[in-house]
Amino acid sequence: MTLDLVLITGMSGSGKSVALHALEDAGYYCVDNLPPELLASFLALQTAQRARRVAVAIDVRSGVSLPGLPLQLANLRKEGIALRSLFLDSTTEALVRRFSETRRRHPLSRQEGRVDAPEQERALVQAIELERELLADLRDGADVIDTSLIQPAQLRTYIKALLNAPQRQLTLVFQSFAFKRGLPLDADYVFDVRMLPNPHYVAELRALTGRDTPVVDWLRAHDEVAQMYADIEQFLNHWLAALADDHRSYVTVAIGCTGGQHRSVFLVEQLARAFGERWAALKRHRELDTD
């Protein structure tokens, strides 16, 4: 019986506790802040007890043990453990806001006092940037989820969708977003479609989305939209096999327009439907999901 292991790591304040609770709800035995030195023995114990699904959260609080963790994970995969590593990330601005709201100290901060005081905010930003450096190797080998603009309920939904995707198959995530709210941190490829005709300027379409039939029909009537779809499809068709051969398990394709409501949503829906016939394909609509 193969042990199914999910490793949750990422930036402090990015939602690791929420993710761990989602995994617990999904039937995983969960452990938070496990020292990396104990990971192998912990898994041996779970295997002996015939556990099937285990989730472990490891983060920067492990300090000097972190540099050796990527090698441990590689060895676990060689031993046949089905390992999925999830890295939760957020923009520095979002993390500063969250620490300010909760009045908690960052694990790498030695400063006391109010986060919203100028000198304390500078110290917090420095701690966040140091944490990014320390976790860079773990981020490179993980499936990244950007939690900057999503709610806890959205994160739980994203986690469960990832877990339901085939473990040993390349999973494509198509994500729509609004450029005015910033680029998604978890994007592997970003396509800008703001030059396409915009339904926002058509009064009867403005309140609708790229999932609604009137908007779909309107966009399909424009040759530029069809050309953009064909270009993105051709690019992905050319490179997906190479990505799969490179042992990538998870690729996020982000498509952005001005408001993240019409053009990007339409293209994500169409691409996810088409590529879902050949690959494991998920879709997200960052702005619509948030609303």
> Is 62 flagged in the annotation as binding?
yes
> Is 41 flagged in the annotation as binding?
no
Q: Is 55 helix (H, G, I), strand (E, B) or coil?
A: strand
> Is 13 flagged in the annotation as binding?
yes
> Is 15 flagged in the annotation as binding?
yes
Q: In degrees, to the nearest 5, what angle opens at C-alpha 164 toward C-alphas 272 and 156?
A: 90
> Is 195 flagged in the annotation as binding?
no
Structure tokens belonging to residue 36: 């990396």
* Beta strands 250-257 and 189-192, pairing class: parallel
> Is 18 flagged in the annotation as binding?
no
> Is 60 flagged in the annotation as binding?
yes
Query: What are the E-state strand segments in 49-205?
Result: 53-57, 82-89, 143-146, 171-178, 189-192
Distances 70 to 23, 143, 243, 245, 269 between C-alpha atoms, Å: 22, 14, 20, 20, 35
> Is 215 flagged in the annotation as binding?
no
- Computed on alpha carbons and rounded to an integer, the radius of gyration of the chain in Å comes to 21
Annotated binding site for GTP: 59-62
Annotated binding site for ATP: 10-17
Annotated binding site: 10-17, 59-62
